[in-house]
Amino acid sequence: MVGLLGSGSWATAIVKILLEQPQREVHWWVREPDIIEGLVREGRNPTYLSETMLDVRRLHLTSDIERVVEYCDDLFVVVPSAFLASALEGVRAEMVQGKRFHSAVKGIVPQTNQIVTDFLHQTLGIPDDMLSVVSGPSHAEETARNKLTYLTVASSSTATAERARQLLNCNYVNTTYTTDMRGVEFAAVMKNIYAIAVGLCHGLGFGDNLIAVLISNAVAEMQQFMDYSAPASVRHMHRYAYLGDLLVTCYSQFSRNRTFGNMVGWGYSVKAAQLEMKMVAEGYYAAACVERMRAEGGLAMPIAQTVYNILYQHADAAVVMRQLAENLK
Protein backbone atom coordinates (compact mmCIF):
# COMPACT_ATOMS: atom_id res chain seq x y z
CA MET A 1 0.00 0.00 0.00
CA VAL A 2 1.01 3.60 -0.63
CA GLY A 3 0.93 6.31 2.01
CA LEU A 4 1.58 10.03 1.99
CA LEU A 5 2.49 12.33 4.86
CA GLY A 6 1.61 16.01 4.48
CA SER A 7 -1.26 18.13 3.23
CA GLY A 8 0.21 21.18 1.49
CA SER A 9 0.27 22.07 -2.20
CA TRP A 10 2.96 19.62 -3.29
CA ALA A 11 1.49 16.87 -1.10
CA THR A 12 -1.91 17.41 -2.72
CA ALA A 13 -0.38 17.36 -6.20
CA ILE A 14 1.43 14.10 -5.47
CA VAL A 15 -1.78 12.53 -4.21
CA LYS A 16 -3.39 13.50 -7.50
CA ILE A 17 -0.50 11.86 -9.38
CA LEU A 18 -0.75 8.69 -7.31
CA LEU A 19 -4.49 8.45 -8.01
CA GLU A 20 -3.96 8.55 -11.79
CA GLN A 21 -3.74 4.76 -11.74
CA PRO A 22 -7.44 3.84 -11.51
CA GLN A 23 -7.22 0.96 -9.04
CA ARG A 24 -4.74 2.54 -6.65
CA GLU A 25 -5.71 3.60 -3.13
CA VAL A 26 -3.72 6.08 -1.06
CA HIS A 27 -3.48 6.34 2.72
CA TRP A 28 -3.10 10.03 3.48
CA TRP A 29 -1.99 11.55 6.77
CA VAL A 30 -3.45 15.02 7.17
CA ARG A 31 -2.80 16.94 10.38
CA GLU A 32 -5.51 19.59 9.94
CA PRO A 33 -9.12 18.50 10.72
CA ASP A 34 -10.58 21.20 8.44
CA ILE A 35 -8.66 19.83 5.46
CA ILE A 36 -9.94 16.31 6.15
CA GLU A 37 -13.45 17.70 6.46
CA GLY A 38 -13.14 19.58 3.16
CA LEU A 39 -11.78 16.52 1.36
CA VAL A 40 -14.60 14.31 2.65
CA ARG A 41 -17.33 16.88 1.97
CA GLU A 42 -16.18 18.36 -1.36
CA GLY A 43 -13.48 16.05 -2.72
CA ARG A 44 -10.82 18.77 -2.63
CA ASN A 45 -8.26 20.29 -0.29
CA PRO A 46 -9.94 23.54 0.86
CA THR A 47 -6.63 25.20 1.75
CA TYR A 48 -4.15 24.14 -0.95
CA LEU A 49 -4.83 23.63 -4.69
CA SER A 50 -8.50 23.98 -3.88
CA GLU A 51 -9.52 23.72 -7.53
CA THR A 52 -8.05 20.21 -7.78
CA MET A 53 -10.68 17.50 -7.46
CA LEU A 54 -9.66 14.14 -6.00
CA ASP A 55 -11.38 10.76 -5.96
CA VAL A 56 -11.96 10.51 -2.22
CA ARG A 57 -13.40 7.02 -2.62
CA ARG A 58 -9.81 5.84 -3.04
CA LEU A 59 -8.39 7.97 -0.24
CA HIS A 60 -8.02 6.73 3.33
CA LEU A 61 -7.77 9.94 5.33
CA THR A 62 -6.51 10.03 8.89
CA SER A 63 -4.89 12.37 11.41
CA ASP A 64 -3.04 9.39 12.94
CA ILE A 65 0.42 9.32 11.36
CA GLU A 66 1.37 6.03 13.03
CA ARG A 67 -1.54 4.29 11.34
CA VAL A 68 -0.35 5.32 7.88
CA VAL A 69 3.28 4.42 8.58
CA GLU A 70 2.43 0.99 9.96
CA TYR A 71 -0.01 0.12 7.16
CA CYS A 72 1.95 1.21 4.07
CA ASP A 73 5.04 -0.19 2.35
CA ASP A 74 5.82 2.98 0.36
CA LEU A 75 5.61 6.35 2.09
CA PHE A 76 5.94 9.73 0.40
CA VAL A 77 7.13 12.36 2.88
CA VAL A 78 5.87 15.82 1.93
CA VAL A 79 5.85 17.61 5.29
CA PRO A 80 7.59 21.01 5.40
CA SER A 81 11.06 20.47 6.82
CA ALA A 82 10.48 22.80 9.77
CA PHE A 83 7.65 20.56 11.03
CA LEU A 84 8.99 17.13 10.08
CA ALA A 85 10.65 16.35 13.42
CA SER A 86 7.46 17.08 15.38
CA ALA A 87 5.29 15.20 12.87
CA LEU A 88 7.35 12.02 13.27
CA GLU A 89 7.65 12.16 17.07
CA GLY A 90 5.33 9.19 17.58
CA VAL A 91 6.92 7.04 14.89
CA ARG A 92 9.37 4.43 16.19
CA ALA A 93 12.20 2.66 14.39
CA GLU A 94 10.54 -0.75 14.63
CA MET A 95 7.49 0.60 12.77
CA VAL A 96 9.47 1.47 9.62
CA GLN A 97 11.47 -1.70 9.08
CA GLY A 98 11.24 -2.88 5.47
CA LYS A 99 9.41 0.26 4.32
CA ARG A 100 10.53 2.59 1.53
CA PHE A 101 10.51 6.32 2.22
CA HIS A 102 10.40 8.73 -0.72
CA SER A 103 11.16 12.31 0.35
CA ALA A 104 9.65 15.15 -1.67
CA VAL A 105 10.67 17.72 0.96
CA LYS A 106 12.80 20.54 -0.40
CA GLY A 107 14.37 21.77 2.79
CA ILE A 108 16.64 21.09 5.77
CA VAL A 109 15.35 19.95 9.16
CA PRO A 110 16.27 23.01 11.25
CA GLN A 111 16.26 21.24 14.61
CA THR A 112 19.15 18.98 13.54
CA ASN A 113 20.57 20.87 10.54
CA GLN A 114 20.16 17.78 8.36
CA ILE A 115 18.72 17.08 4.95
CA VAL A 116 15.64 14.87 5.23
CA THR A 117 17.23 11.59 4.14
CA ASP A 118 19.99 11.98 6.75
CA PHE A 119 17.36 12.83 9.37
CA LEU A 120 15.29 9.75 8.51
CA HIS A 121 18.39 7.56 8.52
CA GLN A 122 19.61 8.82 11.89
CA THR A 123 16.34 9.11 13.80
CA LEU A 124 14.50 6.06 12.45
CA GLY A 125 17.36 3.90 11.21
CA ILE A 126 16.06 3.72 7.66
CA PRO A 127 18.89 2.36 5.47
CA ASP A 128 20.03 4.29 2.40
CA ASP A 129 18.74 1.63 0.03
CA MET A 130 15.20 2.18 1.34
CA LEU A 131 15.34 5.95 0.79
CA SER A 132 14.76 8.05 -2.30
CA VAL A 133 14.45 11.75 -3.09
CA VAL A 134 11.85 13.10 -5.51
CA SER A 135 12.91 16.41 -7.04
CA GLY A 136 11.80 18.86 -9.72
CA PRO A 137 11.64 21.17 -11.51
CA SER A 138 8.04 20.96 -10.42
CA HIS A 139 5.52 23.51 -9.23
CA ALA A 140 2.48 21.91 -7.65
CA GLU A 141 0.13 24.34 -9.38
CA GLU A 142 1.22 23.23 -12.85
CA THR A 143 1.37 19.53 -12.01
CA ALA A 144 -2.16 19.69 -10.58
CA ARG A 145 -3.32 21.12 -13.93
CA ASN A 146 -1.79 18.18 -15.84
CA LYS A 147 1.04 20.30 -17.23
CA LEU A 148 3.87 18.07 -18.44
CA THR A 149 6.35 17.66 -15.58
CA TYR A 150 9.77 15.99 -15.38
CA LEU A 151 10.84 14.62 -12.01
CA THR A 152 14.13 13.13 -10.87
CA VAL A 153 14.12 10.19 -8.47
CA ALA A 154 17.45 9.86 -6.68
CA SER A 155 18.49 6.85 -4.64
CA SER A 156 21.43 4.57 -3.99
CA SER A 157 19.08 1.67 -4.76
CA THR A 158 17.80 1.04 -8.27
CA ALA A 159 14.92 -1.01 -6.86
CA THR A 160 13.76 1.77 -4.51
CA ALA A 161 14.02 4.36 -7.27
CA GLU A 162 12.14 2.18 -9.74
CA ARG A 163 9.33 1.69 -7.23
CA ALA A 164 9.01 5.47 -6.80
CA ARG A 165 9.06 5.95 -10.57
CA GLN A 166 6.39 3.29 -11.04
CA LEU A 167 4.15 5.11 -8.59
CA LEU A 168 4.73 8.57 -10.09
CA ASN A 169 4.81 8.01 -13.85
CA CYS A 170 1.60 8.99 -15.61
CA ASN A 171 0.54 10.74 -18.81
CA TYR A 172 1.79 14.14 -17.56
CA VAL A 173 4.71 13.05 -15.33
CA ASN A 174 7.98 11.64 -16.63
CA THR A 175 10.73 10.52 -14.29
CA THR A 176 14.43 9.85 -14.55
CA TYR A 177 16.87 8.20 -12.14
CA THR A 178 20.18 9.20 -10.58
CA THR A 179 22.31 7.79 -7.78
CA ASP A 180 23.21 11.32 -6.58
CA MET A 181 20.61 11.30 -3.81
CA ARG A 182 22.24 13.77 -1.44
CA GLY A 183 23.42 16.04 -4.25
CA VAL A 184 19.89 16.28 -5.64
CA GLU A 185 18.53 16.89 -2.15
CA PHE A 186 21.01 19.67 -1.40
CA ALA A 187 20.28 21.25 -4.80
CA ALA A 188 16.58 21.37 -3.88
CA VAL A 189 17.51 23.11 -0.63
CA MET A 190 19.90 25.62 -2.18
CA LYS A 191 17.65 26.75 -5.01
CA ASN A 192 15.14 28.11 -2.50
CA ILE A 193 17.75 30.45 -1.02
CA TYR A 194 18.63 31.77 -4.46
CA ALA A 195 14.96 32.21 -5.35
CA ILE A 196 14.64 34.46 -2.29
CA ALA A 197 17.62 36.44 -3.59
CA VAL A 198 15.91 36.83 -6.97
CA GLY A 199 12.72 37.95 -5.25
CA LEU A 200 14.69 40.51 -3.25
CA CYS A 201 16.19 41.87 -6.48
CA HIS A 202 12.79 42.14 -8.08
CA GLY A 203 11.21 43.76 -5.02
CA LEU A 204 14.02 46.29 -4.84
CA GLY A 205 13.54 47.30 -8.47
CA PHE A 206 16.41 45.50 -10.17
CA GLY A 207 15.63 44.03 -13.58
CA ASP A 208 16.07 40.77 -15.48
CA ASN A 209 19.57 41.72 -16.60
CA LEU A 210 20.93 41.64 -13.07
CA ILE A 211 18.83 38.62 -12.13
CA ALA A 212 20.44 36.61 -14.95
CA VAL A 213 23.89 37.48 -13.59
CA LEU A 214 22.77 36.61 -10.05
CA ILE A 215 21.53 33.17 -11.14
CA SER A 216 24.74 32.49 -13.07
CA ASN A 217 26.71 33.21 -9.89
CA ALA A 218 24.26 31.10 -7.88
CA VAL A 219 25.06 28.03 -10.00
CA ALA A 220 28.75 28.35 -9.07
CA GLU A 221 27.85 28.75 -5.39
CA MET A 222 25.59 25.71 -5.50
CA GLN A 223 28.28 23.56 -7.06
CA GLN A 224 30.87 24.66 -4.50
CA PHE A 225 28.53 23.94 -1.60
CA MET A 226 27.40 20.58 -2.99
CA ASP A 227 30.98 19.47 -3.66
CA TYR A 228 31.68 20.21 0.01
CA SER A 229 28.53 18.78 1.58
CA ALA A 230 27.75 15.88 -0.80
CA PRO A 231 30.85 14.96 -2.84
CA ALA A 232 30.19 12.92 -5.98
CA SER A 233 32.52 11.47 -8.59
CA VAL A 234 30.18 12.61 -11.37
CA ARG A 235 27.62 15.39 -11.19
CA HIS A 236 26.29 17.34 -14.17
CA MET A 237 24.97 20.68 -12.93
CA HIS A 238 23.24 21.39 -16.24
CA ARG A 239 20.77 18.53 -15.64
CA TYR A 240 17.26 19.54 -14.72
CA ALA A 241 17.44 18.21 -11.16
CA TYR A 242 20.02 20.94 -10.52
CA LEU A 243 19.92 23.83 -12.99
CA GLY A 244 16.33 23.23 -14.11
CA ASP A 245 14.97 23.24 -10.57
CA LEU A 246 16.95 26.38 -9.80
CA LEU A 247 15.60 28.20 -12.85
CA VAL A 248 11.94 27.36 -12.33
CA THR A 249 12.10 28.34 -8.66
CA CYS A 250 13.81 31.64 -9.45
CA TYR A 251 11.62 32.66 -12.37
CA SER A 252 8.15 31.17 -11.88
CA GLN A 253 5.12 33.12 -10.72
CA PHE A 254 4.29 30.10 -8.53
CA SER A 255 7.55 30.22 -6.57
CA ARG A 256 6.73 30.90 -2.93
CA ASN A 257 10.41 31.56 -2.15
CA ARG A 258 10.67 34.20 -4.87
CA THR A 259 7.39 35.68 -3.61
CA PHE A 260 8.74 35.75 -0.06
CA GLY A 261 11.90 37.56 -1.18
CA ASN A 262 9.86 39.93 -3.28
CA MET A 263 7.78 40.95 -0.27
CA VAL A 264 10.85 41.55 1.89
CA GLY A 265 12.31 43.62 -0.97
CA TRP A 266 9.14 45.70 -1.02
CA GLY A 267 9.64 46.49 2.67
CA TYR A 268 7.70 43.80 4.51
CA SER A 269 9.33 42.51 7.66
CA VAL A 270 10.30 38.85 7.55
CA LYS A 271 7.55 37.96 10.01
CA ALA A 272 4.90 39.97 8.16
CA ALA A 273 5.82 38.32 4.85
CA GLN A 274 5.57 34.86 6.43
CA LEU A 275 2.18 35.62 7.96
CA GLU A 276 0.73 37.08 4.78
CA MET A 277 1.90 34.21 2.57
CA LYS A 278 0.26 31.54 4.76
CA MET A 279 2.63 29.02 3.18
CA VAL A 280 6.09 27.85 4.14
CA ALA A 281 9.00 29.37 2.22
CA GLU A 282 11.58 26.62 2.76
CA GLY A 283 14.40 28.99 1.83
CA TYR A 284 13.93 30.91 5.08
CA TYR A 285 14.94 27.91 7.19
CA ALA A 286 17.50 26.74 4.63
CA ALA A 287 19.32 30.08 4.77
CA ALA A 288 20.19 29.63 8.46
CA CYS A 289 21.13 25.96 8.12
CA VAL A 290 23.29 26.53 5.06
CA GLU A 291 25.00 29.49 6.73
CA ARG A 292 26.11 27.26 9.59
CA MET A 293 27.46 24.65 7.18
CA ARG A 294 29.11 27.30 5.00
CA ALA A 295 30.86 28.82 8.00
CA GLU A 296 32.05 25.42 9.20
CA GLY A 297 33.54 24.72 5.77
CA GLY A 298 35.03 28.18 5.36
CA LEU A 299 33.22 28.61 2.03
CA ALA A 300 32.78 31.98 0.33
CA MET A 301 29.13 32.16 -0.79
CA PRO A 302 28.21 35.85 -1.01
CA ILE A 303 24.65 35.38 -2.33
CA ALA A 304 23.64 32.88 0.33
CA GLN A 305 25.40 34.97 2.99
CA THR A 306 23.56 38.11 1.89
CA VAL A 307 20.17 36.37 2.07
CA TYR A 308 21.02 35.10 5.56
CA ASN A 309 22.10 38.56 6.71
CA ILE A 310 18.84 40.11 5.49
CA LEU A 311 16.59 37.44 6.99
CA TYR A 312 18.37 36.84 10.30
CA GLN A 313 20.74 39.73 10.96
CA HIS A 314 18.29 42.51 10.00
CA ALA A 315 20.63 43.87 7.34
CA ASP A 316 19.18 46.64 5.17
CA ALA A 317 18.08 44.78 2.04
CA ALA A 318 18.57 47.75 -0.28
CA VAL A 319 22.11 48.38 0.96
CA VAL A 320 23.45 44.83 1.05
CA MET A 321 21.81 43.76 -2.23
CA ARG A 322 23.38 46.78 -3.93
CA GLN A 323 26.75 45.76 -2.47
CA LEU A 324 26.23 42.20 -3.67
CA ALA A 325 25.24 43.37 -7.16
CA GLU A 326 28.42 45.39 -7.48
CA ASN A 327 30.57 42.35 -6.70
CA LEU A 328 28.97 39.67 -8.87
CA LYS A 329 31.25 38.19 -11.51
User: How do beta strands 26-29 and 100-103 pair?
Assistant: unpaired
Q: Is the CB of residue 138 less than 8 Å from the CB of residue 151?
A: yes
Of 30, 18, 8, 104, give the one whose Cα is nearest residue 58: 18
Give the active site residue among 191, 271, 278, 329.
191
Q: What type of residue is 139? A: H
Q: Is the CB of residue 200 less than 8 Å from the CB of residue 266?
A: no
Annotation says 191 is catalytic? yes
- Counting every residue written for the chain, the total comes to 329
| 124 three-class SS | helix
Q: Which helix (H) or strand (E) covers residue 4, if one does?
A: strand 2-5
Phi, psi of 231 (to 5 degrees): -60, 140
Q: Is the CB of residue 224 less than 8 Å from the CB of residue 299?
A: yes
Active-site positions read 191
